[in-house]
Structure 1
Amino acid sequence: MLMAVEPLEILKMIIGITPPASILVSVFLILLGMLSITKGGDYFTDSAVEIARLTRIPPVIIGATIVSMSTTFPELMVSVTSTLSGKGDLAVGNALGSCLCNIGLIIGSCALLKGFLSWKRNTESGIPVSRFTIVGPGFFMLFSGVLVWLFSLFSTGGATTQAGVPAEYAIARWQAGILVCILVAYIIFTLRVAIASRHDFGEEQEEPPQVDNLFTYSFKLALIFLGGAALVVLGSKLLVTNAVQVARYFEVSELLIGLTILAVGTSLPEFTISVLSIIKGHGALGTGNIIGANVLNINMVIATCALIHPLPIQRQTVLFDGPVVILLMVAMLGLSWKRKAISTASGFVLLLIYLVYLLLATFWFSG
């Protein structure tokens, strides 16, 4: 089916520059994307867990740092590209929309999945969330979410809309500088925890693997990790790009495409890693990935774009998206505080909030 097409054209179709020649090619590329995501996610998750064992660093810290940086990179590229093309408001919407999807859809559905697997396997339900995770990375996530929303309430720094008029709401460069400082503090915090963990190896953690050549093993592990990340990103691109083509072929509305395929697609790497972490019994890696991704979405993605050019903020983001992001962050941390886990019921609440948000966004702001 693809053999008659020039190699360059195949490459353009894969990375989304050229639309597929037919609906059958789109379906084939969707299946190829799903295969790439599945295999890449397997390699990525297994290597991340092995890195945690090898370095004697808790999986939640691995998830909140190198895993979340890898899965957030596509969102950074999309947002920076939008900013450079004069569509800075899309950069903010992409970053905050990913935070909404990360907690409401991903954590919510993963908690329900964990409940189902626990019932089938007769094991304890709930995704483990330690008090350290809540008061550490969780605090950075919530503080960053509140701060960026407060910043967006005022127009400073000379931001303009796509029409060229002064923006009513905006994030200035000096505010982006503060967000970068928070990112640096977050990185320092996680590094200190990582260093301390090497000298205080908990009983609940697995022993480091015994290897003959540490350098060779570490290099191989790094290649598998990066290769898995690349396959997940490539598979996500294939799946989203071609799913949009199929949806348009069947005349699905642009609004519905944006709220479903594109909304989930930007967070598909995080979704894949979190689901596979739950299935493989490494829930802490998944929650660390989500919390770290949210911290990076705000303090790396939004801050980088605002440093390039002051970011105009849409009215919907200030009045609706931002408050819902904060609500979901508070709900996630609050519901897991007492039990030190995100229960099935808590996951249902998070997912319900996200679904209600989608419905309100569709009918309230669709005009």
Structure 2
Amino acid sequence: MDYIIFLVAMAALIYGADFIIKESERIALHFNISHFVIGATLVAFGTSLPEMAASMMASSHGKSDMAVANVVGSVIFNITMVLGIVFMFAKSMNPNRDLFSKDSAWVIVPVLIFYIMIQDGVIGRVDGVIFLLLMTSYLIFLFKSSREDLEGEIDTSLAKQFNWLKTVALLSVGFILTIGGANFVVESGTNIARSLEVSEWVIGLFLISLGTSLPELVVSLVAVKKGNAEMGIGNIIGSNVANFSMVLGASSLINPLLVDLASTKFDILIMVSASLALLFILANKLYNRAGGIFLLIILALFIQNSFA
């Protein structure tokens, strides 16, 4: 029964996030915001809502391992699986924005801050406030650096269909599905972990984080298919920043999050490696199959060594 509840709850998470993503995009386009900013803010935050809801619920239940593993796993899957698949199947990606010079710091800085914070084995409330301030600085940076991206980029197709009443209603449904689904995902995930005699870290790292990364995969593929490469890549960069700053920040404010450095060392190393690989791809503009294969190799090593 727990397996059925887990799958239904995960579907609720994803569908809820989908409602939030679509309506957030309508609002953004209604106010003439560029594709990269949409991808890196509203869409990124929308696709990070499942992670945020799951980690905050896990934290409120005192399940630190599940809360932190969800973020670590999501960052790994966002970069290696989502971008790996996008680069493999996208026919051509030529972002107008210079992603390396403008956004590379936001790929690695949150990872470094996270690594420094966990050296004492806990992400406390002060750390959570620092993460939330990081999110604030990211938003300020985005809107200041992306003004030049606005010209000639706005798609008014969604804006013409804009309806405040419908948008607010669908956003409300999305939040209800996301929050409710998160509660059942954590509870059923914990029961599955106990029945399989595996740790809550493993459940968070694979089952929950893989499931909550599906919105990023769908949104990025659709964005690239429509020729919005900036939105696809911006979604992942923004989602990873949000995972560290908003998800861990909010979760640690509820309860300090304990981290077992000895048992999580390999997974954190993979997360750092994936972030460095993304930096390399941005620097060399490897938005193609070569970049995709590079990332999927890291994913394969992660899965193989984790289960080995």
The answer for the alignment partner of 1:350 in structure 2 is: 295
8 Å Cα contact 2:58/2:66 also seen in 1: yes
Query: Is the CA contact 1:36–1:232 (under 8 Å) kept in the aligned structure 2?
Result: yes
Partner of residue 61, structure 1: 37
Contact map agreement 1:40 1:228 (CA 8 A) in 2:
no
- Distance, in Å, in 1 between the alignment partners of 2:105 and 2:163 is 32
Tell me which residue corresponds to 1:130: 97
Alpha-carbon distance between aligned partners in 2 of 1:211 and 1:143, rounded to the nearest angstrom: 35
Secondary structure at 1:128's aligned position in 2?
coil
CA distance in 2, matches of 1:344, 1:174: 42
Q: CA deviation at 1:228?
A: 9.2
Tell me the C-alpha RMSD between the 2 structures. Answer: 4.0
1:182 aligns with 2:131: no
Counterpart contact for 1:104–1:328, Cα < 8 Å: yes
Measure, in 2, the Cα distance between the counterparts of 1:36 and 1:307.
Answer: 22
Partner residue of 1:140? 106
Q: How many percent of aligned residue pairs carry the same amino acid?
A: 24
| Offset of residue 346 of structure 1 | 0.5
Corresponding position of 2:228: 282
Number of residue equivalences:
302
Query: Would the alpha carbon gap of residues 173 and 362 (structure 1) be closer, same or farther in structure 2, given more than 3 Å must change?
Result: same
Q: Deviations over 1:127-174 (max 9, x none)?
A: 63732x334444223101111111112x2xxxxxxxxxxxxx222322
Residue 93 in structure 1 maps to residue 45 in structure 2: no
Q: Does 1:291 align with 2:240?
A: no
Post-superposition CA distance 1:53-100 (Å, at most 9, x none): 543322111111111111211211211121122211221111111100
Structure 2 unpaired stretches of 5+: none
Cα contact 1:151–1:171 (8 A) shared by 2: yes
Residues 299-343 of structure 1, C-alpha deviations (whole Å, 9 max, x = no match): 11112222223221122565222222122112112212233x522
Correspondences of 1:79-90 after superposition (within 5 Å): 79-90=55-66
Gaps of 5+ in 1: 1-18, 119-124, 156-168
Query: Is the 1:91–1:305 contact (alpha carbons within 8 Å) kept by the matching residues of 2?
Result: yes
| Counterpart residue type for residue 109 of structure 1 | I
Q: Aligned with 2:258: secondary structure?
A: strand
1:309 paired with 2:276, answer: no
TM-score scaled by structure 1? 0.67
Higher relative contact order (CA 8 A, sep 6+): 2
Whole-Å Cα distance in 1 between the matches of residues 133 and 12 of structure 2?
39
Per the normalisation by structure 2, the TM-score is 0.78
Counterpart of 2:117 in structure 1 is: 151
Cα gap change, 1:72 to 1:209, in 2 (>3 Å): closer
Superposed CA deviations along residues 233-292 of structure 1, whole A, max 9, x for unmatched, are: 59x88xx89x99xx99xx999689776544421212212212222333323222111111
Partner of 1:172: 124
> Residue 225 of structure 1: CA displacement?
7.1
Aligned pair partner of 1:108 in 73, 84, 87:
84
2:127 alignment partner AA: Q
The answer to whether the 8 Å contact 1:44/1:224 transfers is no
Alpha-carbon separation, structure 2, partners of 1:99 and 1:190 = 20
Q: 2:64–2:258: 8 Å Cα contact kept in structure 1? A: yes
Amino acid across the alignment from 1:142? I
C-alpha separation in 2, matches of 1:174 and 1:231: 29
CA contact under 8 A between 1:75 and 1:95: conserved in structure 2? yes
Would the alpha carbon gap of residues 272 and 173 (structure 1) be closer, same or farther in structure 2, given more than 3 Å must change?
same
Question: Residues of 1 paired with 2:219 and 2:254: CA distance?
Answer: 30
Pair 271,69 (structure 1): closer, same or farther in 2 beyond 3 Å? same
Instruction: Give the AA of the match of 2:55.
Output: S
State the 1:191 CA deviation. Answer: 3.3
Which deviates the most, 275-284 or 254-263?
Answer: 254-263
